[in-house]
Chains A and B, each alone.
Chain A
Amino acid sequence: MYNAYIVGKNIYLRHPTEEDVLGKWHEWFSDDETTKYIGDRYWPNSKEAQYDFYKSSIGGRSRLLLSIIDNATEKHIGTCSLSNISWLHRYCDMALVIGEKDFRSGSYAFECCSLLLKTAFLRLNMKTVRGGCVCVNKYTEKLLKVLRFETVGIYKEMFWVDGKYQDYVISMIKQEDWLGRNGYTPKPK
């Protein structure tokens, strides 16, 4: 386990490394299936562009970019972030991509979200985490529901997916609700 930031049962999250850039990271964001539900990933990615993105992740405090590492194999399987962090209003946006297709079954994505929320609410003291998904992305829709994200709005026909404009569902979770459900404080009424 190298430079672990937060550790879960099956995965851990750490700061990205140059070795991550030299691996398959950039290929995930060129792949049509992987980027299908991601808003602005319609252009081919490159190792150079990925390196620039990696460099931009160093030093800033408005985006926490983390690599997802499989505990058993130390394989870099995806990337995740808390972005648009507002230190004044204490909110941020949660996002993740499991790039390695062999790791899309099981609970890797759920566990990653769980670790991100734990980081946001316990370590960074965020009050609100925002999420969302294209309405046809059924897995993420259910994932957010299980995590107790509350739907707060819909951007009608916002995203072009499979030849149709699809709605984008906006959701959020509050710190107090997450703390209560995960046994850190008495459950909210």
Chain B
Amino acid sequence: MKEKVIQVVSRVMGVQVAELDEDSSPDTIPAWDSLKHMNLVLALEEDLGIQFSDTQIIEMSSIGLILEILKEIKQ
């Protein structure tokens, strides 16, 4: 799951996979602005076949937090 999420973030943000890890966030990736964040949510929902709640979207402010939310959804 981690690899898949990093691939999606890489594609949406236009950043190399090698530059991304669980700590990657809008604070570490300049391209991660509010518009790209919306694109990221839509891309994750489409690629992973899931739907986030509003609360989860507000919480997903780093790759690590996205992974935690995905873990919650899968449970």
A182 to B42 Cα, complex, angstroms? 16
Q: Contacts of A106 on B, CB cut-off 8 Å?
A: 26, 34
| Contact of A105 (CB < 8 Å), options: B26, B38, B54 | B26
Give the contact stretch, choosing among A55-63, A67-75, A136-144: A136-144
Given the contacts A181-B51, A182-B55, A146 and B41 also touching, CB distance less than 8 Å? yes
B42/A142 in contact, CB under 8 A: yes
Q: In the complex, which residues 11-44 of chain B have their Cβ closer than 8 Å to any Cβ of chain A? A: 26, 33-35, 37-39, 41-42
B34/A145 in contact, CB under 8 A: no
B38/A146 in contact, CB under 8 A: yes
A146 to B58 Cα, complex, angstroms? 12
Give the contact stretch, choosing among A32-40, A110-118, A127-135: A110-118
Q: Within 8 Å of chain A (Cβ to Cβ): is B48?
A: no
Q: Contacts of A3 on B, CB cut-off 8 Å?
A: none
Q: In the complex, which residues 79-129 of chain A have their Cβ closer than 8 Å to any Cβ of chain B? A: 104-107, 109-111, 114, 117-118
B58/A142 in contact, CB under 8 A: no
Kindly provide the distance from the CB of B61 to the nearest chain A CB, expressed in whole angstroms: 7
Given the contacts A105-B34, A107-B34, A182-B55, A146 and B61 also touching, CB distance less than 8 Å? no
Q: Within 8 Å of chain B (Cβ to Cβ): is A189?
A: no
A99 to B55 Cα, complex, angstroms? 23
A110/B38 in contact, CB under 8 A: yes
A107/B37 in contact, CB under 8 A: yes
Q: Within 8 Å of chain B (Cβ to Cβ): is A186?
A: no
A1 to B24 Cα, complex, angstroms? 31
| Contact of A9 (CB < 8 Å), options: B34, B39, B53, B59 | B59
Q: Contacts of A143 on B, CB cut-off 8 Å?
A: 38
Q: Contacts of A114 on B, CB cut-off 8 Å?
A: 54-55, 57-58
B33/A145 in contact, CB under 8 A: no
A142/B53 in contact, CB under 8 A: no
Q: In the complex, which residues 1-54 of chain A have their Cβ closer than 8 Å to any Cβ of chain B? A: 8-10
Given the contacts A106-B34, A183-B53, A9 and B42 also touching, CB distance less than 8 Å? no
Q: Within 8 Å of chain B (Cβ to Cβ): is A147?
A: yes
A107/B55 in contact, CB under 8 A: no
Q: Can you name 6 A-B pairs with beta carbons within 8 Å?
A: A110-B34, A110-B38, A114-B55, A143-B38, A146-B41, A181-B53
Top 7 nearest A-B pairs (CB, nearest first) are: A142-B38, A114-B54, A139-B35, A182-B53, A146-B41, A146-B38, A111-B58
